[in-house]
Amino acid sequence: MSGDILRGVPPHAGSTAYINARIIDPTAGSEYTGAILISDGKIADFGPNLFASGAPYGIQSVDCRGFYLAPGIVDTRVHTGEPGEEHKETLESAAQAATVGGITSMVLLPDNEPPFDDASLIEFVARRARQIKLTNMYAYGALTVGLEGKELAEMGLLAEAGAVGFTDADHAVGNAQVLRRALYYAKAFDALIVHLPQEPTLSGGHMSSGLMATRLGLSGIPPLAEVMMVERDIRLVEMTGGRLHLAKISTAESVKVIAAAKARGLNITCDTAAPYFALNDLAVGDYRTFGKLVPPLRSESDRLAIVEGLKSGVIDAIVSDHRPQDQDSKRVPFAQAEPGGIGLETLLPVSLELVHNGHLTLPQLFKCLSSSPARLFGLPGGKLAKGAPADLVIFDSNYAWKVDRADIWSKTKNSPFDERPVQGRVMATIVGGRTIYRDDHFAPAAAA
């Protein structure tokens, strides 16, 4: 663990100028050397010519020393164990890991014990976020009561309490009539329905079907299980005119079908998680349970298709799909292991592989990591704009290191990227104008 959480440090009383930064503006699609001025927790000004000759007297300045400065990451798929399974992850430990990872806003999945199908639990998350005082926290409301896929939750009440979208997390809604009603009902208050496309009766295996599953003797989940549900959901959107966001797209066929639906003008968006463009089913290796995820890691051809989907803009956002599991859940035979992997601290460095390998530019990457997810869920951060929250990340795109579970801030260590060499490291995280994390390698010169 290399760095300090600075939760108790108040924001500077006046204005602060971040100078000598390589600024990434994902909305404008631009990258330039410049400065950002923060005042009262908001962005007051920014640009390539701002403070070109230095900050005026009386304004605190922070020399970014040529590091990149971008809108903070908005991660819209995070699971924690609080309430119900605090031994796996608490809201506080997740917030610390997010802070170290440059994530300034995260949206929490509702599949806790109890699930977020009651307004009091949405309010609980908001209250805990105010107490923890680190990254911004929002919550999904459950799409159905008890996440059982049978009866719609009280979506109106959950929305009033602050739910930013509705999902049953990793539970696919097999009943088309239920999802149809949800799409109709959500139109009344312009709510976003988020659905994981996995045909339930075909998804009972332990890894993706194919040569690797056969070699390991593990029951497979066919890629068809995803695209079948994608196609069904697209028809429901056509029928209802609702808004649908498809989560964790992992197959080539799904990318193709979603591209065609978007071309027809349907109100459909989607995301993928870092493992699906960075790993394939070979990462399961010798029954490596850290590689057991939902959906399962796919073939190399599917992985390449996800990269192409990001390049073409068919895939709108990248998420961590952070799902902590303790040792008792993972250090068991593969078929008995719980699926899921942590990802808050590795989201940025793993995603930067798309830039280092020439697939995306940095503004394009931060469109997927910051501006698009904030826009889709109606969140205030994720962009550079006058008056926007000063939620920012400073990072070194070239810093080489190796993921080591011993150094992870998250309470559990089940990273599918454990021992992976990566390139890119968060130097500082700023939320509402407050520097809440600073890496040991970043000691900016500051002077009034």
| pLDDT tens track, the chain, 448 positions | 567 887 655 665 679 999 999 999 999 999 999 999 999 999 999 999 898 777 777 788 999 999 999 999 999 999 999 999 999 999 999 999 999 999 999 999 999 999 999 999 999 999 999 999 999 999 999 999 999 999 999 999 999 999 999 999 999 999 999 999 999 999 988 999 999 999 999 999 999 999 999 999 999 999 999 999 999 999 999 999 999 999 999 999 999 999 999 999 999 999 999 999 999 999 998 899 999 999 999 999 999 999 999 999 999 999 999 999 999 999 999 999 999 999 999 999 999 999 999 999 999 999 999 999 999 999 999 999 999 999 999 999 999 999 999 999 999 999 999 999 999 999 999 999 999 999 988 865 444 4
Rounded distance between C-alpha atoms, residue 73 and residue 423, angstroms: 17
CATH 3.20.20.140 maps onto the chain at 72-376
**321 noted as active-site residue:** yes
CB neighbour list of residue 115: distance below 8 Å, 6 or more residues apart? 121, 142, 146, 147
Start-end ranges of CATH 2.30.40.10 in the chain? 4-70+391-447
Question: Is the separation of the CB atoms in 444 and 370 below 8 Å?
Answer: no
Catalytic, out of 321, 391, 418, 439: 321
Residue pair 343/432 in contact (Cβ under 8 Å)? The answer is no
CATH superfamily assigned to domain 4-70+391-447: Urease, subunit C, domain 1 (2.30.40.10)
30: Cα within 13 Å, side-chain hemisphere: 9
Q: Does domain 72-376 have CATH number 3.40.50.620?
A: no
- Bridge-partner residues for 69, per DSSP? 23, 394
Residue-by-residue DSSP string for 48-102: SSTTTT-PPTTSEEEE-TT-EEEEPEEEEEE---TTT-TTT--HHHHHHHHHHTT
